[in-house]
């Protein structure tokens, strides 16, 4: 299969490229740094412009994961514009290009996030919930606009799958890479009250579920890319500390997060009790449904990374 990826050099994109290159798929990555793509993406071809893709390489499938990191820095006006353009505007350009192809792809798997739902407190959420966050919730509005652009690719020939992805746990990179050092120094702790729900997924299940959705032609619409059971922030903190054999006794109060991060603090103080209902109904079987087992696996991999 010929697969075009955006965001192929990111955490999930690189893991998908490793998986799909091993399966013998032909991979093309649309990137701002195409010369770096072969080394980062398991030999994939890098292109700086979609127009570089000729009729021979017209994709059978498109996986759209592009987007500037959402939690790297506070949301200034300039940062919000970058986050919007790197997701919404890029997806609009991609879908317009797909509409001009003589033979459109069979499937578009397009990124979104658990933040689509906004902060939902104690409510259990699955894909049947059709309400996003409040009008003032930038993260929710961003995801909604991102999905709206992707849906424009839906035709009789092309099915669209929306990937509402939770926090991805990986041995190298992602959320754990930022947390591991302070926790190993004994500086970890819950955020705010610690009662907010945290949806999560092991990287192997994130790529496994995306591959499952690629291959199953009856799968379309939104899917929560998350483990079967979300956990509270305080429980995640205790589990991570235990996996590293360190204490976690330095909580960060909500006021400090709001003062330091401003509007972006909502990502940490809010949460979603997310369920993977549609993945379960479709027949996907998780490798790591349990947080403790996932963290033990990733702790072992971080201590013994694979040879390059």
235: tokens are 């429980």
The dihedral formed by the CA atoms of 297, 303, 307 and 308, expressed in degrees to the nearest 10: 100
Specify whether the CB–CB gap between 110 and 124 falls below 8 A: no
Give the pLDDT of residue 134: 72
Specify whether the CB–CB gap between 10 and 33 falls below 8 A: no
307: tokens are 């040879």
DSSP class of residue 89 equals I
Give the pLDDT of residue 260: 85
In this structure, what are the phi and psi dihedrals at residue 184, rounded to the nearest 5 degrees?
A: -65, -25
CB within 8 Å of 276: residues ≥ 6 apart:
126, 223, 224, 225, 226, 227, 228, 284, 286
* pTM for the model: 0.93
Find tokens 């955490």 and name the residue.
Answer: 11
Give the pLDDT of residue 303: 53
What element of type H or E holds 153? none
Start-to-end Cα distance in the chain: 26
148, 207, 258 from 142: Cα distances, Å: 10, 23, 20
Give the pLDDT of residue 132: 67
- What residue ranges of the chain have pLDDT lower than 70? 131-133, 302-308
d(CA 120, CA 70) in angstroms, rounded, equals: 20
Task: Catalogue the long-range contacts made by 143-147 (C-beta closer than 8 Å, 24 or more residues apart).
Answer: 143/112, 143/113, 143/115, 143/116, 144/116, 145/84, 145/87, 145/88, 146/67, 146/87, 146/88, 146/91, 146/110, 146/111, 146/112, 147/110, 147/112, 147/116, 147/222
The dihedral formed by the CA atoms of 76, 81, 83 and 86, expressed in degrees to the nearest 10: -160
The class level of CATH for 60-303 reads: alpha beta
d(CA 49, CA 34) in angstroms, rounded, equals: 9
142: tokens are 């961003």
DSSP class of residue 171 equals S
Give the pLDDT of residue 212: 98
158, 184, 227, 279 from 103: Cα distances, Å: 10, 52, 35, 29
Give the pLDDT of residue 184: 83
Q: 201: closest CA among 296, 299, 292, 288? A: 288
Extended strands (E) in 199-301: 200-202, 221-225, 231-232, 273-274
Give the pLDDT of residue 307: 45
Give the pLDDT of residue 302: 67
Specify whether the CB–CB gap between 40 and 15 falls below 8 A: no
């Amino acid at each position: 299969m010929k697969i075009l990826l955006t965001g192929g050099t990111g955490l999930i994109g690189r893991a998908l490229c490793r998986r799909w290159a091993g399966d013998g798929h032909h991979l093309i990555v649309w990137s701002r740094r195409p010369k770096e793509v072969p080394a980062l993406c398991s030999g994939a071809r890098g292109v700086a412009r979609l127009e570089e893709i000729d009729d021979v390489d017209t994709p059978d499938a498109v996986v759209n994961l592009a987007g500037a990191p959402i939690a790297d820095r506070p949301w200034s006006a300039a940062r919000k514009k970058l986050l919007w353009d790197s997701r919404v505007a890029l997806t609009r350009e991609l879908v317009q290009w797909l509409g001009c192809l003589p033979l459109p792809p069979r499937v578009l798997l397009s990124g979104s996030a658990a933040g689509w739902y906004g902060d939902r407190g104690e409510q259990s959420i699955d894909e049947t919930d059709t309400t996003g966050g409040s009008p003032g919730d930038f993260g929710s509005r961003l995801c909604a606009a991102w999905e709206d652009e992707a849906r424009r690719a839906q035709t009789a020939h092309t099915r669209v799958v929306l990937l509402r992805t939770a926090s991805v746990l990986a041995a190298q990179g992602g959320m754990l890479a930022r947390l591991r050092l302070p926790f190993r120094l004994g500086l970890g702790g819950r955020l705010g009250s610690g009662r907010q729900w945290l949806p999560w997924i092991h990287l192997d299940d994130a790529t496994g579920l995306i591959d499952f959705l690629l291959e199953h032609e009856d799968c379309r619409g939104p899917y929560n890319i998350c483990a079967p059971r979300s956990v509270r922030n305080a429980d995640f903190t205790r589990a991570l500390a235990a996996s590293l054999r360190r204490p976690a006794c330095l909580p960060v109060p909500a006021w400090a997060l709001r003062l330091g991060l401003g509007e972006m603090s909502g990502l940490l103080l809010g949460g979603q009790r997310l369920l993977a209902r549609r993945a379960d109904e479709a027949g996907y079987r998780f490798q790591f449904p349990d947080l403790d087992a996932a963290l033990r696996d990733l702790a072992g991999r971080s201590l013994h990374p694979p040879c390059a």
